[in-house]
Amino acid sequence: MTLVIAGERSGVGKTTVTLTLLASLRRRDRLVQSFKVGPDYIDPMFHQHVTGRACRNLDPVLTSEAYVQQCFARHSQLSEYALVEGVMGLFDGIGHGQEKQKSPDFASTAHIARLLNLPVVLVIDCSRLSGSVAAIAHGYQSFDPRLKIAGVVLNRVGSDRHLSLLKDSLEALQLPILGVLRRQDNITIPDRHLGLVPTAELPQLNALIDRLADLGDTCFDWQRLLPLLKSELLPYSPTLREAKATSLSSSSPVRIAIARDRAFNFYYQDNLDLLQQLGAELVFWSPLEDADIPKDVQGMYFGGGFPEVFAQQLAENTSVRDAVKTAILQGMPTVAECGGLMYLCEQIIDFEGKSWSMAGVLPTSAVMGGRLTLGYRRAVALQDNLLVKANTTVYGHEFHRSQLTLTPTQPLFETSRYDCEENMECEGWGLPANVHASYMHLHWGESGEIPQQFLKECRTYA
């Protein structure tokens, strides 16, 4: 069992429904493992805040179908209940184009549900419909006979009369109504230019979660839901890659400084786990608050995040900016993704046009703008670099509203869109050679050689 929470389209309230379920389960002291379909970082932060367990991303583009199955089997068996939050609309995936794709809805919520053989709960936004709800539900129920729609959750229901009309319309389908959420004016998760505001920036988050738990206690049909959410012991055995990682972990330990604060917090938990499995000691620190980089580290990892929101505070912490630049120029291996790349630039120019000095390792500036760069990328390495060898193909994801004033003279990758042959650009900074700075977010789960190569360089540096 275990349920997939899907939407009939984006914006119908999947995340609210998911968090409401998780909050109510945790209030009942149930051990819950959550998963998120796709490359998103922020929704998993909310999951983890509620459950106390790291949410796992299920993304066959960034990894593989086999990895998705292994990841789900491994982590779901460690908890009493499990829940998967979908992405976009149920059938919204990646179309045909590249060699990894198998179907028009590849990487969609429906694809993951089929891959894991899980039933789906469909969330429907009822705010602007009544009788038409049956046509929507019937369409999703019959579109792909390989899927099992376990029931629906009716969201944004306006009144008892409204609910009565919805129930009457759905009755002929014999499709269980597993939850009813009324319009909620006091439950709002703020958002901004890249989606929801991360958990670390929401001081009233616990109060919000309590309100969601209150809602969850009364709005769901728990008698039907609990058996569906029950996590079963799935067949799982460590992969050859995991066995190899375990054998390599006996090598000399290496300390890696992981930048993690309000400005930098986009990390796939699997990436951090792989580093630890390979023998790394992760040292978390804050470029916002700390006066220096951690002592006795042999490498640095700057994830994505919102450095543009905290650009002034980052700029004012001159001692850390100088320490980062000095360490890199002295040869310390450093990985910087998206927001991390921006921090290594000379400046960040924010939405208001104000310039803020950054670490100054890369001879370019990051300028915030209205244009959103978004999508999966197929990238071929143009040269040997800190993480991969020349001609290696990797799959990544971009999601940012900044552009660089200068492009690298010796880029790391030639990139193309994942869903077609359209070339994008040459991208990524590898000078100095101990730096890997790119707008692409990489999930290392299917490419264990990446963290191995990174730690190898860190040990050489040490």
Provide the H-helix boundaries in 86-159.
Answer: 109-116, 133-143
Question: Which tokens belong to 309?
Answer: 């929101």
Return d(Cα 41, Cα 39) in angstroms, integer.
7
Q: How far is CA 116 from CA 121, 254, 462, in A?
A: 15, 36, 43
Report the candidate in 321, 312, 178, 214 with the shortest Cα–Cα distance to residue 259: 321
Return d(Cα 182, Cα 195) in angstroms, integer.
23
Return d(Cα 363, Cα 354) in angstroms, integer.
18
Report the candidate in 23, 1, 443 with the shortest Cα–Cα distance to residue 212: 23
The yes-or-no answer on residue 126 being catalytic is no
Q: How far is CA 460 from CA 264, 301, 333, 442, 444, in A?
A: 27, 17, 10, 23, 21
Report the SS3 class of residue 157.
Answer: strand
Question: Length of the chain, please?
Answer: 462
Catalytic position from the list 126, 219, 338, 345: 338
Report the candidate in 30, 166, 157, 140 with the shortest Cα–Cα distance to residue 86: 140
Return d(Cα 90, Cα 12) in angstroms, integer.
11
Report the candidate in 71, 35, 41 with the shortest Cα–Cα distance to residue 446: 71
Question: Which residues, 6+ apart, have CB-to-CB distance to 342 below 8 Å?
Answer: 307, 308, 348, 358, 366, 402
Return d(Cα 413, Cα 411) in angstroms, integer.
6
Across the beta sheet with 334-337, what order do the strands follow?
280-285, 254-259, 299-302, 334-337, 435-438
What are 137's strand-pairing partners? none
DSSP 79-99: SSEEEEEEEEETT--B-S-ST
CA angle 298, 248, 428 (to 5 degrees): 50
Please list the active-site residues.
338
